[in-house]
Amino acid sequence: MANPLNLRVGAAILAKRQCVVEYDEHNEKKVHYYGEPTHCCVTGVVKRALGKYVKGCGYYSYCGDDTPVMEPARLDVSRYIWLYECRVDIDTKPFLVHPDDIEVIQ
């Protein structure tokens, strides 16, 4: 579902808290919440992947040749979430808000 609350760009909302998607100390990509209630406007919707970061490695194949075999780093995605991108003012930095933390202002 690309727009969980069916909000349009420019809709005035009250964001109960903000969120950021980042890695924790166990290399898991999770949503972390912070902040206070803020009046803002919706500027878009973003899709973020959550899961575990798996470090890549390089090793040599010992099956007759010495060519290096590289395994790239990757994110093992456990699920995707949709978040709203919002701004307080046109000059401020955008921030993310989870749909459960939005109250629409009429």
Burial 23-43 (b: 16+ CB within 10 A, else e): eeeeeebeeeeeeeeeebbbe
Residue 43 maps to a domain: yes
Residue ranges making up the domain that contains 27: 12-104
For residue 1, being part of any structural domain is answered with no
Q: Is 2 a domain residue?
A: no
Domain for residue 6, yes or no? no
| Grouped pLDDT means (10 residues each) for the chain, 106 residues | 88 96 94 95 96 79 62 89 96 96 92
- Whether 88 is in a domain gets the answer yes
Our count of domains for the chain comes to 1
Residue 4's Cβ-count burial label (10 Å; 0-12, 13-18, 19+) is middle
- The model's pLDDT over 36-51, given as tens digits with 9 standing for 90+, comes to 999 999 999 999 999 9
pLDDT value, residue 67: 64
DSSP class of residue 16?
Answer: S
Confidence (pLDDT) at 64: 57
Is residue 7 assigned to a domain?
Answer: no
Q: Which of 92, 95, 104, 106 is nearest to 36 (CA)?
A: 95
In a domain, 50, yes or no: yes
How open is the CA angle 9-2-95, to the nearest 5 degrees?
Answer: 50
Inside any domain, residue 61: yes
Q: Could you tell me if 38 and 13 are in contact, meaning their C-beta atoms sit under 8 angstroms apart?
A: no
Which pLDDT does position 52 carry in this prediction?
94
Number of other CB atoms surrounding residue 62 within 10 Å: 7
